[in-house]
Amino acid sequence: MTGGLLEKTIRKMERSSRRIGAKSPHVAKEGVYDDARLDWWTSGFWPGMLWIAADLTGDAAYREAAWTYDERMERLFLVPNRFHHDVGFQFLPTAVLKHRLTGDEDGRRRGLFAANFLAGRLNLAGGFLRAWNDVADPTAWNRNNAGWAIIDSMMNLPLLFWASETSGDPRYRHIAAAHADTVLRRFVREDGSVAHIASFDPATGDFLGWIGGQGFAPDSAWSRGAAWALYGFAVACRYTGEARYLEASRRVADFFLASVEADGVPLWDFRVVPREGEPRDTSAASCAASGLIELAALLPPDEGEPYRDAARRTLRALADGYAAWDDPNDEALLRGGTGNKPAGQNVDVSLIYGDYFFLEALAKLSGWKHRVF
């Protein structure tokens, strides 16, 4: 099943790449991807797809199309206050993957530079990596964010784990583990649901409470946040061998699978009320599918296979119900993504990270041995 879907996905990418060119896609409305800033948090996903396609097919055109993204992104570190906690999303699928696949030393250097930047965001008192940057607008909802951490950060920790592995310096790993432990303690609830934003006193590190963020409410369950958590904790376990991270990933995965809609594609928030007419989020589904594959690989075969099976079912549901296979003018792989429902932004659209994780999950199920996160 997955082999045929992967071939179909690569064929669609080949057509789309001619239209996308050197853009930095984020959102596609009516099938046409935009061109976001290269320091925007999604800038690594399209080149990541190109690198995966290059490795799977051996086609040099994908490699050439992907080659300059990390170089172009690096220059933007000279612009103050533009990069933040999401440098893992940006430099793992670009600089680090380039280094892994080609041995390019500039890719390794850029990956380590980004890891140093991320490590510098540690709030020592609270044991967390700060989310976002200062906000100039005094009326902005997130203007007092110096003590905020977010669940998305679990997917940026692999940059620190990789940096520790490639450099031999354990400090990166220590910072990643400190943050993961804080997320486990303050974000993951007993039932496996997770909060989006946790607020701390930035001076003392004291936990102040949850903020709804992109979820329906502070105590609700944003589905993409659950996907970030189940995937991120699985990767933390893969790097460290720590059982507490494996248990966290499994707990969140069980909640996700018990709460998802019948076709395997979740609503944007599992606890939104009323549920009728609320949009799905295909990006949460594709990210969760890729994370479930990672979780399955950490477990004995009889325990892991149900999670791998769930990943296969999710990918089939996405392919059958949400994929834009046949429209030659549609640049995206998946429709039905929800970016930020509370803000009314990017609802029922295509999202590049949904496309990325769809391709990544299919590649892994088809035997691709490299790992980006």
How far apart are alpha carbons 307 and 206 in whole angstroms?
Answer: 36
pTM of the model: 0.97
Mean pLDDT of the chain: 96
Q: Among 39, 55, 86, 330, which one carries the catalytic annotation?
A: 86
Q: Is the pLDDT of residue 260 over 90?
A: yes
Q: Taking residues 101-115, report their average pLDDT.
A: 98
**Residues 32, 77 contacting (CB under 8 angstroms):** no
DSSP letter (8 states) at residue 343: T
Assess whether 152 carries a catalytic annotation: yes
Q: Taking residues 17-35, report their average pLDDT.
A: 96
Q: Taking residues 94-119, report their average pLDDT.
A: 98
Burial class (CB within 10 angstroms; exposed 0-12, middle 13-18, buried 19+) of 306: middle
* pLDDT at residue 1, as a whole number: 56
Helical (H) or strand (E) element with 232: helix 223-240
DSSP letter (8 states) at residue 365: H
The neighbouring-strand residues paired with 280 are 267
pLDDT band (50, 70, 90) for residue 136: confident
Assess whether 104 carries a catalytic annotation: no
How far apart are alpha carbons 123 and 126 in whole angstroms?
Answer: 6
pLDDT in tens, 90-104: 999 999 999 999 999
CA distances from 322 to 185, 287, 317, 319, 329 (A): 36, 15, 8, 6, 16
How far apart are alpha carbons 99 and 315 in whole angstroms?
Answer: 29
DSSP letter (8 states) at residue 94: I
**CA nearest to 231, candidates 47, 365, 373, 128:** 373
Q: Is the pLDDT of residue 60 over 80?
A: yes
Q: Is the pLDDT of residue 140 over 80?
A: no
pLDDT in tens, 306-365: 999 999 999 999 999 999 988 888 999 999 999 999 999 999 999 999 999 999 999 999
Q: Is the pLDDT of residue 68 over 70?
A: yes
Q: Taking residues 20-25, report their average pLDDT.
A: 97
Lowest average pLDDT, out of 127-141, 264-278, 352-366, goes to 127-141
Q: Is the pLDDT of residue 139 over 90?
A: no
Q: Is the pLDDT of residue 52 over 90?
A: yes
Q: Is the pLDDT of residue 31 over 90?
A: yes
The one-letter code for the residue type at 336 is G
pLDDT band (50, 70, 90) for residue 266: very high
**Residue in the block written with tokens 């999710």:** 314
363 contact partners, CB below 8 Å, separation of at least 6: 6, 52, 56
Lowest average pLDDT, out of 142-146, 189-193, 216-220, 344-348, goes to 142-146
Please report, rounded to a whole number, the percentage of residues in the chain having pLDDT higher than 90: 94
Q: Are strands 207-211 and 197-200 parallel, antiparallel or unpaired?
A: antiparallel
How far apart are alpha carbons 357 and 345 in whole angstroms?
Answer: 21
**Residues 287, 360 contacting (CB under 8 angstroms):** no
For residue 50, the SS3 value is helix
Q: Are strands 148-150 and 197-200 parallel, antiparallel or unpaired?
A: antiparallel
Q: Is the pLDDT of residue 81 over 90?
A: no
DSSP 104-116: -HHHHHHHHHHHH
For residue 144, the SS3 value is coil
Q: Among 55, 152, 330, 355, which one carries the catalytic annotation?
A: 152
Q: Is the pLDDT of residue 124 over 60?
A: yes
